[in-house]
Chain A
Amino acid sequence: MIAEAGLAALWLAAALSLLQLCAGASALRTGGDQLLPMIRPIAIAQGVLAALSFFLLIQLFLATDLSVKLVAANSHSAKPWLYKFAGAWGNHEGSMLLWVTVLAMAGAAVAWLERRLPERTLIATLAAQAAIALGFYAFLLFASNPFERLNPAPADGNGLNPLLQDPGLAFHPPTLYLGYVGISVAFSFAVGALVTRDVGPLFARAMRPWVLGAWVFLTLGITAGSYWAYYELGWGGWWFWDPVENASLMPWLAATALLHSVTVLATRGGLRAWTIMLAVIAFSMSMVGTFLVRSGILTSVHSFAVDPSRGLFILILLGLYIGGALTLFALRVGTIREGSTFEPVSREGALVANNLLLSAILGIVLIGTLYPLGLEAATGDKLSVGEPYFNAAAGPLALALIAIMAAGPLLKWRRDRLKELARRIWLPIGLTTAALIGLLLLAPGIGLLPLLGLTLALGTAAASLAPLWKRNLRRTPLFTWGMVIAHLGIAVSIAGMASESAFTKETLVAARLGETVNVGPYAIRFDGIEPLAGPNWTAIEARLVASRGGGSSLTMTPQARVFSSPQTETSEADIATLPGGQLYTVLGREDEQGRWQLRLWWKPFVTLIWLGGGMIALGGLLSLIGRLRRGRRPKAEEVYA
């Protein structure tokens, strides 16, 4: 019954999205219609129905209803509760349902909360959101039905990929999707504004909170995904330049550029066409990413099934929506009023540089991700594009971008002078130089990119705090705090990345019981090994006692696990966060002489990577709150930080 109700809710939501699209289109054409007051409630009802359908799917997974094909294929009655719950989106159909639910709920949120957008633009926006939803409802209903029944029901399910059986599954996909799919609102806003030709500062102020909100979730989702990969895969790496990771990075780069250009539009009325274009690109990147991950052309833990017809379906939707939006853009771009001009040396000028650099990095990541796929399709040659490529191509641009990020907030809007900037930025530049000299003397040979990363991170951290200099901190607007914290977060994260790549120490040995192994400043004694059983796995656990310079010791217990359904071995690294870094231990296999493989890392300041990511998201959240508060007091609009 629950499965049928879920399917019915999904069909109803799809029907409502069609109604929402038609009602919106007819209201826009006739310029006034009795359908008009209906559109907001329709959008809200559509969001509620999609959410209901998703909720019912979770119910099926919690009850392990094996007569539903999806549950039988991806769940198991012996799985812990959390993974039954989160397992609902740990498969192709469930994750697409989550995708569509976020899309529908984003539309519902716009219908419910958006008050600043002119009525006609809002209707066009909701119609655009409905058009996107309609295509993806069709994809679910015709090519990826999560509620399909199985007759007869099997005795038990196949279980969930053990790599996904982790609390990360409950957090990473939903947050990532809230950002990844939430950015669809910016796309729909852009389409709405193109339809009504109403692009200006007011439009930008209405769009900014939605962009900020999606961006905060996207940042959190990527940060969480990176940490999950770091501790779960047992390689000690935190970013692999895997196409599925790039699929989330590309919308983030575009959304970050959009976030900054929308500020120029809101404050100075400039970058109109460009902002619209970025809004279209940001969600287009999300759709490209969805295609890459969900079509099955890539093989990874993220792609659950290989089915060419699904890939083609998403590709057609992709072409339809991106092509449609770009065509509309091309037709209407001439009628968008030109914004005011600006000086190169000004806040706007720095933001334009930021946008150009972010777009160039986006282009490099896009080429690095798509080129191998295109080459393989065309010639059959397989090419793997990894870290060396991205570091060589995107690294220099990223460093330039960080330098601009340090200087930009110290520039005034409208017009500034380089001499004035130099007066404000001498301290960060001095710090950068001192750090450069210090590192060259103390730690030669750490590599150019880590060296520049560390020094620039220090200078940027100092520069990002500079906007608070000599200000009354209690009267500083919340969105200025947000900017400061987010920029500081970037510096913190870069410092972590550079430190990890420059100073990591690794030891790989086959050790006997009682043997002591050194890694970095730690001595690690192999104390014991014993079997262990969990709810749906058994394991062998090593007991390692780590101590630093004869001081107090801590016990670490990496495991080699064997899951029963499906039968899979995984390695559970044990990671200890210590002052100054993380100790990362992995247990391998036993050899014929009774020695155990141990892989140990000492990673100084690696935690800064994700701490920085959290700070970036927090900065975005503070900005969002600040903007919403300011938005309620329209009189204060003239005062800009």
Chain B
Amino acid sequence: MKAKHQRLTLLILAIAAVLAAVLLAMSAIRDQASFFYAPADIVRKGLPLDKAVRIGGMVEEGSVRLAGDGVTMDFIVGDETDATIPVRYKGIVPDLFKEGSGVVAEGRFQPGGLFVADEILAKHDENYMPPKLAGERHKTESLK
């Protein structure tokens, strides 16, 4: 094989590999990625029942209840609207989980509207707020 031909073959192979990777990635994203819902989104779009999703918002004050087994927890997530999501989680909540502060949970909705979380995410820092709320607070601060 001539050098030029080999170069061309390699180029075609490389492009094919990248295209295959992109196709693989896009199809995997369609199947595997989970969308993020705030309580207001549930009111607007309805319950996403068919797949795992993430929800996020603020843990409402006084809403955290521990069940009889000592490890299952119920709480309510709210946002700046009146909408709320009841959440159930079995596990130890992360260090930064507190009433009145932000939370992101991954799991599935039950047909009745209860969100059963597999995981409560702790990837935020102590100043974390859902972006919308942060925006609100920013506005009030700049008004001062």
Contact = CB atoms under 8 A, between A and B. Distances in A.
Do chains A and B stick together as partners?
Answer: yes
Interface of A: 161, 163, 233-235, 240, 242, 274, 299-301, 303, 306, 338-342, 352, 356-357, 359-361, 363-364, 367-368, 371-372, 381-386, 388-389, 392-393, 397, 508-510, 566, 568-571, 586, 588-589, 591-593, 595, 597, 599
A597 B124 CA distance: 23
A323 to B, nearest CB: 19
Nearest to A355: B14
A367 B92 contact: no
A357 B13 CA distance: 11
B71 A386 contact: no
Given A392-B28, A591-B66, A363 B18 contact: yes
B70 A591 contact: yes
Contacts of A341: 1-3, 6
Contact of A242 (B2, B71, B91, B123): B123
B33 A384 contact: yes
A570 B95 contact: yes
Given A240-B123, A300-B123, A359-B14, 15 more contacts: A161-B126, A242-B123, A299-B125, A301-B123, A341-B3, A341-B6, A352-B10, A360-B18, A363-B18, A364-B28, A367-B29, A389-B29, A508-B90, A586-B92, A588-B92
B70 A593 contact: yes
B33 A385 contact: yes
Question: Of residues B3, B14, B24, B95, which shows the largest number of chain A Cβ atoms within 10 Å of its Cβ?
Answer: B95
A592 B34 contact: no
Given A383-B33, A384-B33, A393 B17 contact: no
A274 B126 CA distance: 44
Given A301-B125, A341-B3, A356-B14, A389 B33 contact: yes
B21 A361 contact: yes
Interface string B1-44: 11110110010011001101110111011011111100000000
Contacts, number: 144
A392 B36 contact: no
A393 B28 contact: yes
Nearest to A382: B36
A161 B96 CA distance: 12
Given A364-B25, A385-B29, A569-B95, A359 B122 contact: no
Given A338-B3, A383-B35, A595-B70, A234 B95 contact: yes
A593 B71 CA distance: 12
B120 to A, nearest CB: 10
Nearest to B106: A384
A342 B6 contact: yes
B79 to A, nearest CB: 13
Interface in B33-76: 33-36, 54, 66, 69-71
A462 B3 CA distance: 36
Contact of B70 (A364, A569, A597): A597
Contact of B126 (A340, A510, A568): A568
Contacts of B14: 274, 356, 359
Interface of B: 1-4, 6-7, 10, 13-14, 17-18, 20-22, 24-26, 28-29, 31-36, 54, 66, 69-71, 90-96, 106, 122-126, 128, 134
A68 B34 CA distance: 43
Given A381-B35, A385-B32, A388-B32, A599 B17 contact: no
B21 A339 contact: no
Query: Top 5 nearest A-B pairs by Cβ distance?
Result: A510-B70, A382-B36, A588-B92, A360-B21, A388-B32
Contacts of A386: 32-34, 106
14 contacts: A161-B126, A299-B123, A300-B124, A303-B125, A360-B21, A364-B21, A383-B36, A385-B29, A386-B32, A389-B28, A389-B29, A509-B70, A569-B95, A571-B92
Contacts of A597: 70-71, 92
A363 B22 contact: yes
A599 B10 CA distance: 52
A229 B141 CA distance: 34
Chain A binding surface, main DSSP class: mixed
Given A367-B29, A389-B28, A566-B126, A338 B66 contact: no
Contacts of B91: 508, 599
A299 B128 CA distance: 7
B81 to A, nearest CB: 16
A184 to B, nearest CB: 24
A360 B20 CA distance: 8
A384 B126 contact: no
Contacts of B124: 299-300
Question: Of residues B4, B20, B25, B29, which shows the largest number of chain A Cβ atoms within 10 Å of its Cβ?
Answer: B25
A392 B3 contact: no
A367 B20 CA distance: 13
A382 B35 contact: yes
A338 B7 contact: yes
Given A339-B3, A510-B69, A363 B21 contact: yes
A452 to B, nearest CB: 17
Contacts of B134: 306
Nearest to A599: B92
Contacts of A360: 17-18, 20-21, 24
A299 B123 CA distance: 8
B1 to A, nearest CB: 6
B8 to A, nearest CB: 11
